[in-house]
Chains A and B, each alone.
Chain A
Amino acid sequence: MDDLRAGLPFRAEYRAALGLTPGRKLLVLTSTWGPHSLLGANMDLVRRALAELPHDEYRVLAAVHPNVWYGHGGWQVRAWLAPYLRAGLLLPAPETDTWKAALVAADAFIGDHGSLTLYAAALGVPGLLGAFGDDVVAAGSPMARLGAALPRVAPDVPLGRQLRRAAAAQAGDERLAAIGGLVTSRPARAAELLRRLYYERLELDEPAWPAVPRPVALPLPLPAERYGPVPPPMFVDARTEPDGTLVLHRHVAGLQGAVTGHLADPHLVVAEGDPDGRWAGAADVVLGRAPGPRETYRSAAERVFASHGGCWLVAFADRAGGGAGCVAVTRDGGVLGGRWEEGGAAALGFEVAASVLYAVAGAGVGAELTVSVRIGGGVGALRVG
């Protein structure tokens, strides 16, 4: 606990080491082991987190107890969570201490009756309980008190809304702070006390240097996941703020379930060639393959419209200028171009440009215009004409 707390001033460094870009939030799912644990009792929460939280706003990391990992086998755990790994779940191997850096870097947690939940609360991270082993937790223990103090995940309310409520309600919550204080009665002194005890037993003089808490080590980069070439179909919610900024929220379509409150009026973006037949007929926007040597954008789009009955706009990566731009053809024959203005906005990419063009085309475009775009922590300006 001391080492975790000693890391708090360096939160930015832990965030960077975990690959979090500015503005990206980190949700840590903490699971102990056994049938009452988060993974044991409510594995569907992993899906919900990746489905209901905006894809570009949150990263989701699962900190899994080694007894889950070694009890079932790391391959098996990864296989069970494979659809979520493909949707961006971070899953550090539990013999590493990446979970510590994640707790220090976290913006929110969803936990159970495991110790990591208690550590997260003690670090002041707002959170929810996704499961809780009421029967295995000792009455009166700090964990039992935490179980009584934290809200449980509601099955029918979008998780983003629940996390925002928890953050607002738990800021400055004295009851939670008191529970967090139970983790150690000698804050910041564990190294000193432990060393004194050891050396007394060893009948040796203690080393000359002081025994002080050491901030958690920065994590090594997580092993890179391998992805297929097909981007996952996305529901994209686009709305214009009063200042004219177009704000986009993307949600992985294939993970959606019964809760839909986070999807106000989305359009569905699907890649041409996606082998999952569910999407071809439902797509509003199709990310088209580059036109062949004898094709124009229009003729390539006609081919896509023919095989995607609900599609209204086909977007092609603009081959000129590094590929960050976009050429779009609408079903009524209109052709639109979009190009990100200089200044790092190219990172928002072709797929986001396609959704911006769909949003502005739906609103009817006359002359050229520049659209300010925000998605997750990223901002950009798309010149449309």
Chain B
Amino acid sequence: MPHAGSSRPSHILLRDNAGRWATAAPERTVLGVVHNVTSATRLLELLAPFEGDSRVHVVFTCTGSSAFENGTREFMAARQLPWISWEEAKRKKFDLAVSSSRGGELHKLNAPLVGAPHGAGYNKHLRREPGAGSREPGAGSREPGAGSREPGAGSREPGAGSRRPSAWMRNGSLMTGS
């Protein structure tokens, strides 16, 4: 698959000639989306259903959108998460993406997206101040007015501008939309 830039895929299974380098030959590729250590710990729990299934492999990326990014690289390195850059993640097509936070440009991913909160559901308002944290104003996917996430608000699709189907877990229920 052609892609912009000079770098070839950094993960052997994302290369066109993966069969030459890979030991296993998984049938599906899942992208685990990390925001910070908090969401990463939750993400690894969300990926537990794939344990034992060598048909599926997971690669990880980090959105670079969190104000709390310190320690994330170390966390990913300590757990030996196979990691690709966010730029590369946006270029590639995945069979599924899983995210435990809504920050960052999730709508730019080319994959069906499944998301879940990283705590006990959505209980807090998030005040988005211009220039606050590391998220540039306007860089996110959020529509105007999406600044406060109220529990019970109907469909809150981070990828509302995207055509790909996505689903979010809320209070144990699946919220699916496209």
Contacts and interface: CB of A to CB of B under 8 A. Distances in A.
B154 interface: no
Nearest to A146: B123
Interface in A192-246: 193-195, 197-198, 201-204, 207, 209, 211, 214
A144 B171 CA distance: 15
Interface stretch (A150-158, A177-185, A351-359, A367-375): A177-185
B52 A209 contact: yes
Contacts of A142: 120-121, 123, 151
B87 interface: no
B88 to A, nearest CB: 21
B49 interface: yes
B128 interface: no
Interface stretch (A12-20, A53-61, A69-77, A289-297): A69-77
A202 B68 contact: no
Contact of B75 (A65, A95, A190): A95
A70 B45 CA distance: 20
Contact of A184 (B50, B165, B171): B171
A164 to B, nearest CB: 27
Contact of B52 (A97, A193, A207): A207
B96 A71 contact: no
B95 A202 contact: yes
B53 A207 contact: yes
A201 B70 contact: no
Interface stretch (B4-12, B15-23, B34-42): B34-42
Contact of B124 (A1, A137, A201): A137
B48 to A, nearest CB: 7
Given A66-B37, A67-B38, A119 B120 contact: yes
A184 B173 CA distance: 8
A357 B49 CA distance: 59
A140 B151 contact: yes
Interface residues of B, number: 50
A93 to B, nearest CB: 10
Contacts of B124: 113, 133, 136-138, 143
A82 B75 CA distance: 24
Contacts of A122: 120
A71 B167 CA distance: 30
A64 to B, nearest CB: 11
B172 interface: yes
A198 B123 contact: no
B41 A66 contact: yes
B55 interface: yes
Contact of A202 (B28, B71, B125, B127): B28
Contacts of B55: 204
Contacts of A193: 172, 174
B122 A141 contact: yes
A190 B165 CA distance: 20
A325 interface: no
Interface of B: 27-28, 30, 36-38, 40-41, 45-46, 48-50, 52-53, 55-56, 67-72, 75, 78, 95-96, 98, 112, 114, 116, 119-125, 127, 149-152, 165, 167, 169, 171-174
Given A95-B71, A143-B124, 5 more contacts: A67-B38, A69-B37, A138-B122, A201-B112, A204-B28
Closest CB pairs A-B (n = 9)? A115-B119, A143-B123, A184-B172, A195-B49, A115-B120, A70-B71, A186-B172, A118-B120, A66-B37
